[in-house]
Structure 1
Amino acid sequence: MPMRLRSPLPAFEGVTEWVNGQATKEQLAGKPVLVHFWSVSCHMCKEGLPQILVWREHYGKPYDLQVIGVHMPRSEKDTDIAAAKAVIEEYHLEHPIMIDNAHAITDAFQNEYVPSYYLFDAEHQLRHIQAGEKGLKLVEQRLQKIMGSTNQEGQ
């Protein structure tokens, strides 16, 4: 059963390894958060990674959007941390990324799919879930809506 809208942002406990620094609740306080699940063996995930960079740049500075990746292995082969780090480097992913080999974060989010996107507002309530490569436009629309309301609240 997937997370329900308005559910709180789950804790990041049980992470196998953090890449690019650890995201803490204190750092994320009062900021909208996009959590992106992906896997090295997922071709569609890799196709969407450039869009994550665009969102991070476009919504990060003016709206303080925090992007956090979760590498969710789909097979034993996907648990190769060096392979995940190679993809992170290849696609220039500079935001915090959790390697979730034990599926602790995957289970906390009740996530089943890659790619998938979980968008939380500044109060860390879930506002949108999207799975699959076709959902990028829907995530973008929801980002615009949430960032617009975040911007208005800040004025």
Structure 2
Amino acid sequence: MRLPCCTFAAVLLVALAGPVFSDEPDPRIEAFWVLLHEPAVVEELKLSAEQQSRFTTMRDGWDLRFFPLRNQKPEVSRPTFAALVAEAREELKEVLDERQETRLREVELRRLGTDSFLQPEMEPVLKLTDSQKEKIRAIVSETRESLQRAAAKAKEEKTPQKQLEGRLRTLKIGEQRKVLDRLTQAQRDGWTRMLGEAFDVTRLGRPAFRVPDLIDSGQWANSEGLASSSLRGKVVAVHFYAFGCINCIHNYPAYLDWQSRYRGQDLVIVGIHTPETKAERDIEAVKRKAAEEKFEFPVLIDVDSKNWDAWGNSMWPSVYLVDKAGRLRFYWTGELNWQGQTGEAQMRKHIEELLTEPAP
């Protein structure tokens, strides 16, 4: 059986990409949201200069509403996020023409992988029987559980990332074959038509999100203050921490290495100290600890957690890498090298990638 070009990669991306919110009940909400932030998708739509300007402005506004949802309770975040995505779908209709809307929908179906078979627009095309629908749901559910077990086992055994990706790829390819085996040839042909022209989904996996501006508390260590506008054209490593947090302290060697390794290059490290305990609310103590640890970079003292909430941060420590255009490209929550993980090496690699990119 010959499968549509690049479909394996599409379903693999779904397996490897972390959800926007845990337990997100509708994969299409998340898929659409991420695709709006993929440069390859925007390029595929062939927007005019006017369309590009309108789209970028709209998307930036959505992003600034999205970030604060990240640390909200699920009963708040999920419906609010769903409403935001629904609003984005409607507003996009004012920007895209019919051809562009169709192409975005085709790429979205590719991104959904096997979840695409049960989407409403597929109903009149595939005309699945109740038995087929039941079997497809069972296959998808079984694969999801297998992916979770594989990821958990890999974490326990400290399996290298590439080896884990190979296992996940095998599971997703097997899932798609099982689903297609339950379709007639006419149904398979209909599904292929709905996917449209070939799209190289290996270009996906590079979403960029507009980050919130720094909210100046008026209290800084190692700086009189920074405005986000002054950071454009620089790669920015933003790390949220609290000086009494042992996991945060374990990340300090990485920050000290970056401030030395990339000295004189277009990297700016910004610490955001958000207190967890009463002692950590002492501004002079924050400054003293920063000096003791030999931090040379600016630290924004976020006593009232305004930056923490604007970013929707939820864990000490968390590290975000922002590109020269002011967009989030990579992040790591928790201790970088926790129990053999390679967060420090991965983030260093990403920093070097971002440094090679031209300024906007």
TM-score bucket of the superposed structures, by smaller chain: 0.7 to 0.9
- Aligned with 2:351 (options 122, 143, 146): 143
Shift of 1:35: 0.5
TM-superposition CA deviations, 1:103-133 (whole Å, max 9, x none): 0011111111111101001001100110111
Q: Which moved more, 1:107-116 or 1:132-141?
A: 132-141
Q: Unaligned regions of 5+ residues in structure 1, if any? A: none
Indicate whether 1:95 and 2:297 are aligned.
yes
Counterpart residue type for residue 294 of structure 2: H
- Aligned with 1:7 (options 186, 205, 209): 209
Q: What's the counterpart of residue 334 of structure 2?
A: 132
2:220–2:298 CA contact under 8 A, matched in 1:
yes
Superposition pairs of residues 1-155 of structure 1, within 5 angstroms? 1-2=69-70, 6-15=208-217, 17-21=219-223, 22-62=225-265, 64-133=266-335, 134=337, 135-147=343-355, 149-150=356-357, 153=358
TM-score using structure 1 length: 0.86
Shift of 1:39: 0.5
Higher relative contact order (CA 8 A, sep 6+): 1
TM-superposition CA deviations, 1:9-43 (whole Å, max 9, x none): 31122525111111223421211111011101111
Secondary structure of 2:329's match?
strand
For residues 60 and 122 of structure 1, the distance between their equivalents in structure 2, rounded to whole angstroms, comes to 17
Going from structure 1 to structure 2, the CA distance change for 1:73 and 1:16 (only over 3 Å counts) comes to: farther
Counterpart residue type for residue 239 of structure 2: H
Which is strand-richer, 1 or 2? 1
For residues 262 and 295 of structure 2, the distance between their equivalents in structure 1, rounded to whole angstroms, comes to 15
For residues 60 and 37 of structure 1, the distance between their equivalents in structure 2, rounded to whole angstroms, comes to 21
Which is helix-richer, 1 or 2? 2
For residues 289 and 246 of structure 2, the distance between their equivalents in structure 1, rounded to whole angstroms, comes to 12
Cα RMSD after superposing both structures? 1.9
Q: Which moved more, 1:109-118 or 1:5-14?
A: 5-14
Secondary structure of 2:240's match?
strand
Counterpart residue type for residue 351 of structure 2: L
Going from structure 1 to structure 2, the CA distance change for 1:11 and 1:26 (only over 3 Å counts) comes to: closer
Matched pairs, number = 149
For residues 72 and 53 of structure 1, the distance between their equivalents in structure 2, rounded to whole angstroms, comes to 19
Larger radius of gyration: 2
Give the share of equivalent positions with the same residue, in percent: 29
TM-score using structure 2 length: 0.39
Secondary structure of 1:111's match?
coil
For residues 211 and 227 of structure 2, the distance between their equivalents in structure 1, rounded to whole angstroms, comes to 12
Shift of 1:84: 1.1
Shift of 1:82: 1.9
Secondary structure of 1:2's match?
helix
